[in-house]
Amino acid sequence: MTSVKLEKYERTVSVSPKYQRRNQENLQATYTDVVVIGNGPSGICLSYLLSGHWPYYTGETHPNEYLNKRLQVEQDKSLVLQDLKFLSDNLEGRSSHPVSLLFDTLSNPDADIGINSPSLLHWRHDPKQEISHVVLGKKEEGGIWQMMEGQMKTLSLSSWMQLPDMSFDKWLQRNRSVDDPDKFSNRARMEEVRKYYMDYVREKGLTKYFSNHSTVTSVQRIQECSQDIDDESGEESVSICGAGISNRQMLWLVCGHRTVSDDKGQAYDEDFCYKTPNLVLCTGAFDQPNMLNMPGEDLPYVCHSLAEMEQCIHEDILTSTSNPVVVIGGGLSAADAIVHLLDLDIPVIHIFRRNVEDPQIVYRQLPSKLYPEYHMIYRLMQGIDTDDRYKNYSSMDVVEFTEDNQMLLKSRKLGQEMVLQVSCVVVLIGSRPDLSFLPRHILSKLGIVPGMGIHSQHNPIDVDPYTYQSNHFTGLYAIGPLVGDNFVRFLRGGALGIVSHLWQKKENTINL
């Protein structure tokens, strides 16, 4: 394999005075080959590959005979260096990205028919394959999972939540006590997923790449002259070039602030700035919950996340003897909430806008054998099954929330109004990413539908299906929910696609 030398040395250059620290000298921009915004599962997985860990096919037979034949062609070469378009040809599944399907079917063969088969990938580490990078995240490693501290379980199998080369099931066996009631469960509690992702970063030696408690406030595209490093002295040899000179390159300038601690343990904020030719968006799509925008929605008993609901349970605000909890929404998060509430014997009123037989209801699109809990909720919605603790109202709109814990509803069909006395309302009608750090002219062209806000389902970021590079901005990549891959099992392929493309670009540059 040809060794490709990447720019791994961090360098500092002066930045425009507009990025100065307050009452301090000019802030310096640190160069790195890749900046990753978001330290959830997408960012963690990408960091593992960027750190020089590459996947290889084990040689064991894959149940898909056509894929099995393609895998034999370059069996000894890492997937990073293979033709991913050729390998993923004609694969089908619940992701629109062929490389995501490829990685998933190699990691979890026959997962969609309920078979938990061994992975057909093994991993090798070579320091020469490392690509310098930094991962920026607002909280500790895990992203949105840092907000999940309760006993609620994932409805995906625990093996589907795992990251490369570290079995989640084995991690659970090590970390669950002998008398844990979930000792042999194949689903994990939310807090276990959070701890697994944090342990993953430490056990895989990725901590040095992570800058946690970091908030990105601005991203800009800049042009800069290329700068060479003298092989003997290590000093930069700066070339002065004007407009139109060929050795000017487009870079991304990423700035923000982070919270750090001094030697005495005192926390303080400091500014940061990075410049990079490759920017990866891994922020997820759950920063900002969607609102009903109805009067009284800001009252204390109205929640907009599972974490807020879990806190109410923890504080004994919600119990089996309290007034019903109203769950508003017809998606997966709403089902998660309902399952958890019923497990705790807490009465639920379920409100959703769609007709129960609407083909777009997400529960109808999932295999019942793999997601029995979702289908249990759907059967309750249809009235096929009944539960004294569950009641629903379909095709209803919320009109108002009042200070005395009442909510006013109006039927879409008949126009009739009704009042419910509740203990808590959980509004789970989707969410959207916070990409406010991007310039408007970039944000407006980022999605499949230009000018429309980014939405994981309705308007994901428009990327190449094999490289995950934006179809509109060179050097800008995105993976995970931002491109429509909401399940952890599928976002891993995005990391493979990006790293493969980065190495293709470096090899092409050297061969010029």
Whole-number pLDDT of residue 27: 79
Phi, psi of 454, deg, nearest 5: -70, 130
User: Residue 153, SS3?
Assistant: strand
pLDDT for 20 beyond 80: no
User: Exposure string (b/e) for 3-15, b if CB count within 10 Å is 16 or more?
Assistant: ebeeeeeeeeeeb
395 band by pLDDT with thresholds 50, 70 and 90 = confident
The mean pLDDT of 454-474, rounded to a whole number, is 94
pLDDT of 226 > 70? The answer is no
Looking at residue 225, its pLDDT comes to: 62
User: DSSP 3-state helix, strand, coil percentages of the chain (rounded to 5)?
Assistant: 30, 25, 45
Question: Are the C-beta atoms of residues 501 and 474 closer than 8 Å to each other?
Answer: no
Q: How confident is the model at residue 53 (pLDDT cuts 50, 70, 90)?
A: very high
Pairing of the two strands 424-427 and 302-303: parallel
The pLDDT of 346-370, averaged and rounded, is 86
Q: Please, which residues bridge with residue 125 across strands?
A: 53
Torsion of CA 466, 472, 476, 482, to 10 degrees: -70
Q: What percent of the chain has pLDDT over 70?
A: 88
Better-predicted residue by pLDDT, 158 or 353: 353
Residue with more model confidence, 27 or 133:
133
Check pLDDT > 80 for residue 335: yes
Instruction: Choose from 145-149, 351-355, 460-464 the range with maximum mean pLDDT.
Output: 460-464
- Give the per-residue pLDDT at 302: 96
User: Which of the four pLDDT bands, split at 50, 70 and 90, describes residue 82?
Assistant: very high
- For residues 146 and 245, the model is more confident at 146
Average confidence score pLDDT of the chain: 86
For residue 11, is pLDDT > 70?
A: no
Q: How confident is the model at residue 512, as a pLDDT?
A: 54
d(CA 278, CA 276): 5
- Looking at per-residue confidence, does 238 or 389 come out higher? 389
pLDDT at 263: 78
pTM for this entry: 0.84
Q: What is the CB-side half-sphere exposure of residue 98 using CA atoms within 13 A?
A: 14
Determine the pLDDT at residue 374. Answer: 86
pLDDT score of 399 more than 60: yes
Q: Both tokens of residue 353?
A: 């806008």
Please give the order of strands across the beta sheet that includes 390-394: 302-303, 424-427, 325-328, 348-352, 390-394
Amino acid at 297: E
CA distance readout (Å), 228 to 28, 231, 248, 334, 367: 19, 9, 12, 54, 55
Q: Is residue 466 scored above 90 in pLDDT? A: yes
**Highest mean predicted confidence (pLDDT) among 188-192, 232-236, 346-350:** 346-350
Residue 152 has pLDDT above 90, yes or no: no
Question: 336: Cβ–Cβ under 8 A, 6 or more apart, which residues?
Answer: 152, 155, 306
The confidence score (pLDDT) of residue 142 equals: 83
Q: Given pLDDT bands bounded at 50, 70 and 90, which one contains residue 13?
A: very low
* Spatial separation of the C-alpha atoms in residues 391 and 341, rounded to whole Å: 13
Do 274 and 32 form a contact (C-beta atoms < 8 A)? Answer: yes
Q: What average pLDDT score do residues 279-301 get?
A: 92
Average pLDDT of 460-484?
96
Backbone phi, then psi, for 250, in 5-degree steps? Answer: -90, 130
DSSP H stretches of helix in 240-371: 306-314, 332-343
- pLDDT the model gives residue 228: 44
* pLDDT, position 150: 60
Compute how many other C-beta atoms are within 10 angstroms of the C-beta atom of residue 338. 28
- With beta carbons less than 8 A apart as the criterion, state whether 141 and 126 touch: no
Q: Which of 3-12, 74-83, 244-253, 325-334 has the lowest mean pLDDT?
A: 3-12
Higher pLDDT, 142 or 492: 492
Per-residue pLDDT band for 247 (boundaries 50, 70, 90) equals low
Q: How many CB atoms sit inside 10 A of residue 49's CB?
A: 23
Phi and psi based region of residue 415 (left: phi greater than 0; alpha: psi -120 to 50; beta: remaining)? left
Residues 6+ apart with CB under 8 A from 284: 38, 40, 42, 143, 144, 433, 480, 481, 482
**pLDDT score for 3:** 35
User: Which residues does 90 contact at the CB level (< 8 Å), separation at least 6?
Assistant: 66
Q: Rounded mean pLDDT of 389-402?
A: 93
Strand order in the sheet with 406-411: 396-401, 406-411, 417-421
Q: pLDDT category, 181, cuts 50, 70, 90? A: confident
With bands split at pLDDT 50, 70 and 90, how would you rate the model's confidence at 177?
confident
* Cβ(73)–Cβ(195) below 8 Å: no
Predicted confidence at residue 461, as pLDDT, reads: 97
> Which range has the top average pLDDT, 20-34, 120-134, 183-197, 282-296?
120-134
Q: Which of 65-74, 84-93, 230-239, 328-337 has the lowest mean pLDDT?
A: 230-239
Range with the largest mean pLDDT of 186-195, 255-264, 367-376: 255-264
Average pLDDT over residues 328-334: 90
Structure tokens at 473: 């901005």
